[in-house]
Structure formats: C-alpha cells, structure tokens
Amino acid sequence: MDYIAELQAAILNLHGCEATYLETVPVIEEFQGETIWQGEVEVFELTGHPKAKRAYAWGHVTGDEDQGRRYVAVLELPPVDSPQTAVKAGIMSEIKNARKKTKGRPS
C-alpha cells in the first residue's frame, strides 16, 4: 500500500469517512525561534463526514529503531482551517497525551 492509501485508510479508521487526495503542502512549525516540526501535510477532501469537508494527514516513524509508523489525521473543523493549524492541533494533542501518560508515575 502506498503512503497516500495508508493515510486514506487511517482517515477511514479514525473518522469513518472516505478521503480523496487533493494536494501536498510543506509545513514548518516554529516555537520561540526553533523548528519543532517540519514535513509535508497531505490534504484530502472528505465524503461522508457530517461536518468536516477536508482532513489533513501525515505519518511519521516511531520507536527507537524507527520500526513503526504513526498516522495523524486532523479534521478541518474550527479552529483548524489549514495544514498549518492542523499541525499545531496535532502537536498540542501529542503534548496532552504525553502529559496524561506521565501523570500518576512516581518521579
């Protein structure tokens, strides 16, 4: 399966709708002068979602040996209105999830 098809499958799995590829947009996200994320975001038109017309998706390798791949698919719903704001939402989601995992662990 190619990368675009993998992202379409992830959108179907995560959000329950079909996705048609539209374009690839390069995004660089910076925070306090440092690049914290750089990559390409794939833009999809959605069919079958009650509110969102588009989704923004990307994948990245995970694990110590880069053995896995994680997919992120963000719907175009306010405040998300572009590939750039989708990346910001994805970063915020990862930060929140990381904080949840560390809570409750002894220091």
Over residues 19-38, the pLDDT tens digits come to: 999 999 999 999 899 999 99
pLDDT score of 63: 66
pTM of the model: 0.86
CA–CA separation, 17 vs 29, rounded Å? 28
CA–CA separation, 91 vs 84, rounded Å? 11
Going from N- to C-terminal start, the domains of the chain cover: 3-102
What single-letter amino acid sits at 103?
K
pLDDT score of 70: 86
Give mean pLDDT, residues 46-75.
Answer: 87
Is it the case that residue 107 has pLDDT exceeding 80?
no
Is it the case that residue 18 has pLDDT exceeding 60?
yes
What single-letter amino acid sits at 11?
I
